[in-house]
Amino acid sequence: MDLLSLVKKSRSYRRFDEEYFIEPELLRGLIQLARYSPTGNNQQPLKYWLSNSPEINAKIFPHLAWAGSLKDWHGPQEGERPTAYVIILGDTEIKSSFGVDYGIAAQSIMLGAAELGLGGCMIASVQRQALREVLGIQEQYEILLVLALGKPAETVVMEPIEVSGGVRYYRDADGVHHVPKHSLEDLIVRDVA
């Protein structure tokens, strides 16, 4: 698949088929993509904490905030929750701040998921201390971002910002998730000829 198609396919999904098990090799393959992605001064300070089991997933789930803009929806119900997680950690023995590195790695992982017909959501709104305690994550590692993954069970469409008049995403009566996007022209402050 060409990259533009892949990037378009890689939407943020928040409802999944919870019957779908994510194989260990598949999850490791996604980390392989992060491993080969750029990292500042080649320091490679990111580490990865993986889960694909119902027991561990159930420990992670309560510590994540879902879809801040959907005021009447508090996250996926049982049966539609993520079936795997990648927790991106920063190793403070290597660096004290992780700048651009974890966004790069996260995007590689999510594009890899999309390529396999999976999807998910990058979640930065995390109860970090509680998650650390319940999973026993060492103090050496800073919790940077949680990637929730699964087999998407919802439809997500992008639309021009003019349709709803703002950037806030919303769900329509059919449960379709709409994501307003600025035009290319709106994003380019200095164009080329």
- Among positions 13-72, residues that touch a second copy (CB under 8 A) are 24, 27-29, 31-38, 40-44, 46-53, 68-69
Residue 8 as a binder of a second copy (CB under 8 A): the answer is yes
Selected binder of a second copy within 58, 77, 100, 117 (CB under 8 A): 100
Residue 76 as a binder of a second copy (CB under 8 A): the answer is no
Residues that bind a second copy (rule: CB under 8 A) add up to a total of: 73
Nearest distance in Å: CB 35, a second copy = 6
Selected binder of a second copy within 130, 157, 158, 176 (CB under 8 A): 158
Tokens at 115, concatenated: 């390529």
DSSP for 75-111?
SPPTTSS-SEEEEEEEETTT-S--TTHHHHHHHHHHH
Long-range contacts of range 154-163, CB-CB < 8 Å, 24 or more positions apart?
154/13, 154/14, 154/15, 156/11, 156/12, 156/13, 158/8, 158/11, 161/186
Map the footprint of a second copy across residues 112-151, applying CB under 8 A.
Answer: 112, 115, 122, 124, 135, 141, 144-145
